[in-house]
Structure 1
Amino acid sequence: MLTLVAGLLLFLGAHSVRVFAEGWRTATIASVGEKPWKGVYSLVSIAGFVLVVVGYGLARQSPVVLWPQPPVWTRHLAALLTLVAFVLVVAAYVPGNQLKAKLHHPMILGVKVWALAHLVANNTLADLVLFGGFLAWAVLDLRAARKRDRSLATVAAAGSASRTAIAVVVGLVAWAVFAFWLHRVLIGVSPMGV
C-alpha cells in the first residue's frame, strides 16, 4: 500500500502544482525555462505513474475488503459511467468540439467520472485509495481551473457538431476496446464478463 500511496503523491502532486502553487510554478518556469520544467514534470509524473501501477498491483494481491461485494448493477453503472468518461477524455483532445466548448475542462471531468465509476463498483482499500485519490484531485483541480478561467475571463470557441461527433465516436470505440479487451489484458479484470 505504501508504494501505491507514494505513487499517488508523486503523480497527483505533480499534477497539483497549478492547484496549490501557481505562483511558484510560474516563477520556476521563468527561472529554469519551459523545456526543463516540462522535463522534470514528465519524469516525476512517469515515476509516480509506475509506482501507482506497481503499488495497486501489489495491493490487489492481498486485498483489504472494506464492505461486501457491491451488487451486479454497480458494474453496469460503472460501465456506463466509464463510457461517458472516455468520451470526455477524447473531447479534451479533439479541437473545436462542442463538449470542450461547453465544459471547458472535459479531461478533468472525465477523470472524475472514471474515478466515481470505480468507487461505485469496487470494495477494497486499494480501490478506495486509488480512485478516491483521483476523485479528490479532480474535484480540486476542476475548482482551480474554473477559478483561473474566471480570473482570465476565458471564453471557449464554439464547437461544431461534426467535431463533437468525432469525439463521441472515437470515445465510444476507445471505451469498447478497453472495456471488452484491454482492461482484462492490462488490469487482469474483465469488467464486461467476457
Structure 2
Amino acid sequence: YKTRALVIATGAMGRPPTFKNEDVYLGKGVSYCATCDGAFYRDSEVAVFGNNMEAIEEAAFLTKFAKTVHWITSQDPKFETDEHAADLLATPNVKHWSQTRMLSVEGDGEGVTGVKIRKKGAEEETLEVEGVFIYVAGSKPITDFLTGGQVTMQDDGGVAVDDEMCTNVPGVFAIGDIRNTPFKQVVVAASDGCIAAMAIDRYLKGRKTVRVDWIHQ
C-alpha cells in the first residue's frame, strides 16, 4: 500500500496480571487509573501498590477522595532523593506499608473486599479495602514493527514527535500511548488525534501553518 500520510496509533501493551485475582476483579475494584476511578471511592479505604512516580502521583490524587489510602511498597522509598514520596506520607489519610508484599486481591465475587499482604518479618494479614490501584512497570508502547530504524524513538521506548505529532519522517505521525506520554487519558489521546489531523491537512495541502478556528489579536 502507498499513502501520502500515515498515523501510527498502536497504543501500549499492558502487562500480564501480577497478583492472584487481579484479573478477576479488574473493573470491580481493581484499577490502574486513580484519575479515572478515584471519585468512586469517596470516604472508602483503598490500597495503592507501587514504588514508582506514577504510584506516588496517583496515591496523592486518591487522598482527595478516600478515607484512607494504604500505600504498599515492597521497598522503602528514597526520601532523600524523592520529595514527592515524603510529601505523600505527610498527608494525614495515608498509611504506608513499607517492605510489604501484596499477595492477592480478595473479593466476594461482586467486588474487592481487601488485599492480602505480608510485611517483612511478619505474618500474612488482610487489609479491608474497596479499591486496589496497581502500578507495576510493564506497559510499553507497541513499536515492535518499527524495527527499521527510520522512525526516531525516545529513550523511554516511545515514538518521538514534535508539537504537531509529526515524527522525524515527513508525513508520518504518531499519537496516543505509543508516544509514552505520562498523561494516559482518553482525552489526551483524542487531543493528539485532533492535532495530527490538523497537521496532516497542512502537510497534504502544502501550507506553512495549520488552519485554526480563531486567532487571538
**TM-score, normalized by length of structure 1?**
0.24
Could you say which structure has the higher strand fraction?
2
Could you say which structure has the higher helix fraction?
1
